[in-house]
Amino acid sequence: MRIGLDIAALSEAGLVNQIIMISGDSDFVPAAKHARRSGIDFILDPMWARAADSLNEHVDGVRECVARRSENDPLHVGNIDL
């Protein structure tokens, strides 16, 4: 709930012009709707999971910013020998 209040406060104050939400939970639908009504570009990154259909309806776009795993990236956590 706290992050929803933060989204609403940032939107109302005009402190941001874009929010990227890393989640797919439908609990964020009210926050996304409020931000969009305030003119904020609301992007969703569900991190390879399936986002709730109700949340997909209330965002400006869905974008996966991080590739799942790159076989040729030596710095990817999956490729580091510990």
Kindly state whether residue 31 falls inside one of the protein's structural domains.
yes
Determine the pLDDT at residue 6: 94
Which residues form the domain of 26?
A: 2-67
Kindly state whether residue 78 falls inside one of the protein's structural domains.
no
Task: Please state the rounded mean pLDDT for residues 43-65.
Answer: 85
Burial class (CB in 10 A: 0-12, 13-18, 19+), 67: exposed
Report how many domains make up the chain.
1
Of all residues in the chain, what percent are helix, strand and coil, respectively (each to 5)? 40, 10, 50
Instruction: Answer yes or no: pTM beyond 0.85.
Output: no
d(CA 23, CA 48): 10
Determine the pLDDT at residue 50: 82
24-48 pLDDT, tens digit each: 888 899 999 999 999 999 999 887 7
d(CA 65, CA 45): 7
Find the CATH number of the domain harbouring 39: 3.40.50.1010
User: pLDDT band for position 20 (50/70/90)?
Assistant: very high
